[in-house]
Structure 1
Amino acid sequence: MKSNAKCWKQRQSALGIAMSLLGGCAMGSSEARVGTCPPVVEYSRAEQARAAGEVEALPEGAVIERMLSDYAVMREQARACRPIASLDRLDAAAFLEHPT
């Protein structure tokens, strides 16, 4: 009867290599780190007023309205990602309009 020890060693080696490679993928943290948050562009009140007027002029059901809504959500997520200590300034009016 043939010995299958060599076959087991090959499988064991392949399993060890696979475990090492997969373990390397899991080394990073899934938590948000400082520096990974996207910047939030600040717009002046005049720019915001102009944009609001342009949005109101859009035809009813315009797709861009939904896209802008998605953009607003992403901006809030980016703001939430940044720690309070790293914020350049706190706009009290904006904070009162959008409390977190």
Structure 2
Amino acid sequence: MTGCLRPGPIALVIVASLLAGCATGPSSVACVPVAAYPATFLDRAADEVEHLPDGSAVEQMLADYQVMRAQARACAASR
């Protein structure tokens, strides 16, 4: 086998969207603000993620961050 399959940025967005649906109602804690990034910055980040080695710890951290961003958006939307 020449390489392993890795989830790309699109797969991470899909997973984060599905997990965001788990938020079921308003919470008593304050919602964390979500930073907005310009499209050019997001494109650059996606290019950099593609160059990470297979199994990169940074890739896992980015997946976790994507989930937290989706949860923060869901929190803000429930207010």
TM-score normalised per structure 1 = 0.49
- One-letter amino acid of the counterpart of residue 71, structure 2: Q
Alignment match of 2:43 (pick from 41, 45, 49):
49
Q: How does 1:8-23 map to 2 (within 5 A)?
A: none
Which of these two proteins has the greater Rg computed from alpha carbons? Answer: 1
Q: Aligned partners of 2:53, 2:39: CA distance in 1, in Å?
A: 24
In the comparison of the two structures, how many residue pairs are matched? Answer: 54
TM-score normalised per structure 2 = 0.61
Q: Aligned partners of 2:38, 2:27: CA distance in 1, in Å?
A: 29
- Indicate the percent of aligned positions where both proteins have the same amino acid: 48
Unaligned runs of 5+ in 1: 1-30, 87-100
* Higher helix proportion (structure 1 or 2): 1
Unaligned runs of 5+ in 2: 1-25
Report the equivalent of 1:36.
Answer: 30
**Runs of 4+ residues deviating >6 angstroms:** none
Q: Aligned partners of 1:78, 1:71: CA distance in 2, in Å?
A: 10
- Which structure has more relative contact order (CA 8 Å, sep 6+)? It is 2
